[in-house]
Amino acid sequence: MEYLYGLLFGTEPKQSDADARTALHAKLDALPDDRDAQITLTAAELRILKEATTTTRQKHGGGDELFVRMHSNLTEDLDPSTADAVVDAYGASPLKPNPLAKRRPSPETPQLRKACKNAVADLISERQLASSVPKERRKTLEMALSEVNAWGFDVWSVVDAFQGDTLLASRAIVDAVVFEARGFRAASTSHILRQVVSKMLASYQDVPYHNCLHGADVLQAMHALLNLAPTFDDALDDDVVLVTLLACLSHDVGHPGLTNNFLVETGHELAIRYNDASPLENMHAAVALNLAKPYLRTRPPADQKQNRALWIGLLLATDMKEHSQQIFELERALSKSKERGATYEACTPEHHVPCLKVFIHACDVSNPAKPWAVYRRWTALVMEEFWRQAELERERGLPLTVPARDATDLAQFQKGFIAFIRPLFAAADRIGGVDMSLPLERLDDTARRWQSPRAEAYDDDVRE
């Protein structure tokens, strides 16, 4: 977590840094591709560039030329310590003419410049992330993120620390899981990965429940569930884990806050496009895979095909229409193994994908298996989205397919939903190497609270 904390709580960026970043960006944008082009950087711009490009530079053997060239024409406002740093970092004196400047343009230059700009863009957004958390809330954020490996992780503490900004909260959660806990920061393609993540988050709509926070939440839940199944987690290739996490993040991308039923009944363009067959999930998969292209292209061709197939399979497995069939198939596989006197093991390579499909679906419906206060806030949002759809159904004279605001027995509805999803968790718990006891305990606890006539009184827990 140190890296993230460093970014979040490290040195407060001064105002002049913000100006320097903007100026640096403009200069990089204006930099022509030929080698004779010169760039003049101030000390602050250079420091930011150096910070942003350290990793990029290491990843591009031979790329040092660009950086030498960039620093070959520095102005007098370069303080001596920065000048030394340039010499140390790039092995060139910034004050001497650059001998490389006479050579042909390097074919690598445009590519490197792009990588360099991406690194700067990342740095900017991470700093924005840090500066948008008020000082008094940083401790709360630090504490909330320190639980990111746990099933009981409280997403709402992160949202509260960002004063309700779900996009920033989602980014912080994804960063903490993908780049910190799972260590994908070290991958040579991490700058591409960051861009793909940003695009996925930005492609969620601003609806009450199916917004980017739900994507980030399902990603965190998957990470935590894999932590509860360490032998399975270890048996999975890093590539498979990363694709699975990204599939979770993107599983509801573009969601309009309306159900498949509604889209089909109203002849929505998504229903037309996908012939009434899982229009939402097909759309999520198409949008997600399109956004993922820059990342997938970094993989060898055989992996690209496999990753794409895995991603699509996981997204289609989140269709609630598949829920009962998925449980049925899992139970059948469990029984077959039992008849042979064996256990259906998650670690067996042929079981990896079926188990991940069970996991993503379980994570998608996992809010009642979370601590009560966490669950209740999700439930309020799910209900709000349903209620808005019911209003549209009423307006159009359609039969109601979701609960209406004025006619919801919340306890009854929630007990029904929990009873519906519990068998999935129970069946998954019987898979060898999978431990669903904590989610099951929570699920039962939530159901027990709804049994009480004073269930809503527990909502006192929800208020800060």
Which of ligand AMP, Zn ion, Mg ion, none binds 320 (CB below 5-8 Å, type-dependent)? Answer: ligand AMP
- Which amino acid, 196? V
CB nearer to Mg ion: give 131 or 324. 324
Question: What gap in Å lies between CA 258 and CA 152, rounded to an integer?
Answer: 28
Question: What gap in Å lies between CA 101 and CA 323, rounded to an integer?
Answer: 63
Which of Mg ion, ligand AMP, Zn ion, none binds 365 (CB below 5-8 Å, type-dependent)? Answer: ligand AMP
CB nearer to ligand AMP: give 309 or 419. 419
| Binders in 111-140 for Zn ion, by CB under 5 A | none
**By CB under 6 A, is residue 170 in contact with ligand AMP?**
no
CB nearer to ligand AMP: give 200 or 365. 365
Q: Which residues bind Mg ion (CB under 5 A)?
A: 252, 318
| Binders in 382-401 for ligand AMP, by CB under 6 A | 382
Both structure tokens of 262: 């509604």
- Which amino acid, 379? T
Q: Are 200 and 253 in contact (CB under 8 A)?
A: yes
Choice from 252, 292, 346, 374 touching ligand AMP (CB under 6 A):
252
The region of 60-68, 277-285, 359-367, 382-390 touching Zn ion under the rule CB under 5 A is 359-367
Kindly write out the interface string for residues 280-319 of this chain, putting x where it contacts ligand AMP by CB under 6 A and - elsewhere: --------------------------------------x-
CA terminus-to-terminus distance, the chain: 26
Which of ligand AMP, Mg ion, Zn ion, none binds 367 (CB below 5-8 Å, type-dependent)? Answer: ligand AMP
Choice from 368, 432, 433, 439 touching ligand AMP (CB under 6 A):
368
**By CB under 5 A, is residue 393 in contact with Zn ion?**
no
Choice from 365, 369, 424, 436 touching ligand AMP (CB under 6 A):
365
Q: Least separation, in Å, of the C-beta of 364 and ligand AMP?
A: 5
CB nearer to ligand AMP: give 210 or 442. 210
CB nearer to ligand AMP: give 9 or 413. 413
Angle made by CA atoms 175, 173, 159, in degrees to the nearest 5: 140
Contacting residues toward ligand AMP, per CB under 6 A = 210, 252, 318, 320, 364-365, 367-368, 378-379, 382, 414, 417
